[in-house]
């Protein structure tokens, strides 16, 4: 049978067999950010178009070519968010977070939308983990932000990454750099693509980010921004490097990094993969944007942030053969024979779930044989079958599906008895994964209480 329709090009379905990976990654990112003092923020999926044109920059590829923009029923121009920073900055201003203690640290997991050619780890609907710090000019903040990203990659086991950093200066010194760039690219006007000819007049730095092979070759010999930094920007960049040195974070200076969005100032950085399977992929990047809040109508508020694409992170994790924790399996499946037994199974499962146990029973009216086949397919760790005789006797046998061992439990105390068994089973599994010395040092009572 032919499908009525399929998913839109550049989008994807995350099916149950893989969604646990996304959930693990999202929880991990938010937990690590929390350790650095970041709190979650959630903003709307669409904003007024002028927010992105003003904040992201109307000379960027994002604004010129990639945004999903439409008129709503009131005739207002609305855009699906292409990135997370502009919305977070708007919320910072609109809700007066500048009146709260600064710096304000926020983080988010958000969906974004860009109309571009789908490729490895990049989709037209994609998801980002991002962090933003509003209200500090200190180079220590730049280093801490990089340290957060570095810790995430280390925790996930993603290696073969190179941290590349640069400073693109402030409006004062960048004006001089723009003059130098314009003078350089003027001599290549006949060779530049049409988009870069427009950029030459409006923002020549954007030419450095052009993907055209011809423009990229010309840009390779262009003046370097580091040669035009004012004293303040030079000092800031040197201090950022000194903090990174103090944190033992290795880095490489890449004077060609400008990032793809116009709001950046001073520090910019990228973590670039050098793994043979993912070479050249940018796994995360960001920098400082000291003028963005002011550009959106607020007071001067030095700020910075970074983002990581979740789909790209997962593709790198897969390419490097990193195994993420498996999806949660069924702890116990309770099969039943007859209506009375089915009601009893439903009640026991409800009680077990309240104790944190993953419990399931038959909701499809299957035979006992079919129920047990299903329990095996979903990877149930324990199983039991309840019939009229078991209810009359007040006890039932459960089976450990790993070793075949059977244990008889009273139905009246089933929930408490099985919960204790489940905790002990989890503790034993943890013990098997640790050395004897490590396990001997654990407080088993506290461990079991925590698992329960």
| Tokens 């009273």 -> residue | 410
pLDDT of residue 118: 74
Of 162, 62, 164, residue with least CA distance to 114: 62
To which H or E segment does residue 36 belong?
none
Q: What is the full per-residue pLDDT of the chain (452 aa) written as tens digits?
A: 678 899 999 999 999 989 999 999 999 999 999 999 999 999 999 999 999 988 887 667 788 789 999 999 999 999 999 999 999 999 999 999 999 999 999 999 999 999 988 776 679 999 999 999 999 999 999 999 999 999 999 999 998 899 999 999 998 998 899 899 999 999 998 899 988 988 888 888 888 888 889 999 999 999 999 999 999 999 999 999 999 999 999 999 999 888 766 788 999 999 999 888 888 888 999 999 999 999 999 999 999 999 999 999 999 999 999 988 888 789 999 999 999 999 999 999 999 999 999 999 999 999 999 999 999 999 999 999 999 999 999 999 999 999 999 999 999 999 999 999 888 877 776 666 554 444 444 444 444 444 44
Token code pair at residue 339: 């209506």
Residues forming beta bridges with residue 40, ordered by sequence position: 107
- The reply to whether 332-451 shares the fold of 16-170+230-319 is no
pLDDT of residue 55: 81
pLDDT of residue 429: 66
Would you list the DSSP string of 142-196? HHHHHHHHHHHHHHHT--SEEEEEEE---HHHHHHHHHHHHHHHHTTTTTS-HHH
Would you list the DSSP string of 76-110? -EEEE-S-SHHHHHHHHHHTTGGGSSSSEEEEEEE
Domain ranges of the chain: 16-170+230-319, 332-451
Q: How far apart are CA 353 and CA 247, in angstroms?
A: 44
pLDDT of residue 438: 45
Q: CATH class for domain 332-451?
A: alpha beta
The CATH architecture assigned to 16-170+230-319 reads 2-Layer Sandwich (3.30)
Of 248, 305, 354, residue with least CA distance to 89: 305
pLDDT of residue 449: 43
* Confidence (pTM): 0.86
Residues forming beta bridges with residue 270, ordered by sequence position: 164, 285
pLDDT of residue 56: 83
Backbone angles phi, psi at 408, to 5 degrees: -95, 130
pLDDT of residue 153: 96
pLDDT of residue 120: 63
Of 333, 281, 274, residue with least CA distance to 309: 281
**Which residues are CB-neighbours of 306 under 8 A, at least 6 positions away?**
130, 131, 145, 146, 148, 149, 269, 284, 285, 286, 287
Q: Pairing between strand 39-40 and 104-113?
A: parallel
């Amino acid at each position: 049978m032919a499908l009525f329709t399929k998913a839109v090009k550049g989008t994807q379905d995350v099916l149950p067999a893989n969604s646990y990976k996304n959930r693990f990654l999202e929880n991990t990112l938010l937990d690590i950010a929390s350790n650095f003092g970041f709190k979650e923020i959630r903003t709307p999926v669409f904003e007024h178009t002028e927010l992105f044109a003003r904040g992201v920059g109307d000379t960027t590829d994002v604004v010129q070519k990639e945004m999903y923009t439409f008129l709503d029923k009131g005739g207002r121009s609305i855009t699906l968010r292409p990135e997370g920073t502009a919305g977070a900055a708007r919320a910072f201003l609109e809700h007066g977070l500048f009146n709260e203690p600064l710096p304000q640290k926020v983080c988010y997991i958000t969906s974004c939308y860009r109309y571009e050619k789908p490729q490895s780890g990049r989709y037209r609907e994609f998801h980002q983990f991002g962090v933003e710090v509003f209200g500090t000019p200190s180079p220590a903040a730049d280093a801490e932000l990089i340290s957060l990203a570095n810790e995430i990659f280390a925790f996930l086991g993603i290696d073969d990454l190179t941290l590349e950093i640069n400073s693109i200066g402030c409006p004062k010194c960048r004006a001089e750099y723009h003059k130098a760039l314009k003078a350089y690219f003027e001599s290549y006007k006949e060779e530049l693509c049409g988009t870069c000819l427009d950029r030459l007049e409006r923002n020549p730095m954007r030419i450095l980010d052009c993907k055209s092979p011809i423009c990229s070759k010309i840009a390779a010999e262009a003046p370097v921004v580091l040669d035009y930094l004012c004293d303040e920007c030079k000092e800031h960049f040197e201090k950022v490097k000194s903090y990174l040195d103090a944190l033992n974070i290795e880095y490489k200076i890449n004077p060609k990094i400008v990032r793809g969005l116009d709001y950046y100032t001073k520090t910019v950085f990228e973590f670039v993969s050098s793994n043979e399977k993912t070479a050249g992929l940018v796994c995360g990047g960001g920098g400082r944007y000291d003028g963005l809040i002011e550009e959106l109508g607020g007071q001067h508020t030095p700020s910075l942030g970074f983002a990581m694409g979740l789909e790209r992170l997962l593709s790198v994790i897969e390419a490097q053969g990193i195994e993420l924790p498996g999806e949660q399996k069924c702890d116990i499946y309770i099969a039943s024979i007859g209506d009375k037994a089915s009601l009893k199974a439903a009640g026991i499962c409800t009680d077990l779930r309240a104790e944190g146990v993953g419990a399931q029973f038959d909701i499809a009216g299957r035979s006992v044989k079919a129920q047990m086949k299903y329990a095996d397919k979903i990877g149930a760790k324990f199983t039991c079958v309840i019939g009229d005789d078991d209810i009359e006797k007040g006890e039932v046998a459960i089976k450990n599906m790993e070793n075949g061992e059977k244990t008889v439990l009273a139905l009246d105390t089933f929930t408490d008895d099985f919960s204790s068994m489940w905790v002990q089973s989890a503790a034993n599994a943890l013990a098997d994964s640790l050395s004897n010395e490590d396990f001997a040092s654990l407080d088993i009572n506290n461990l079991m209480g925590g698992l329960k």
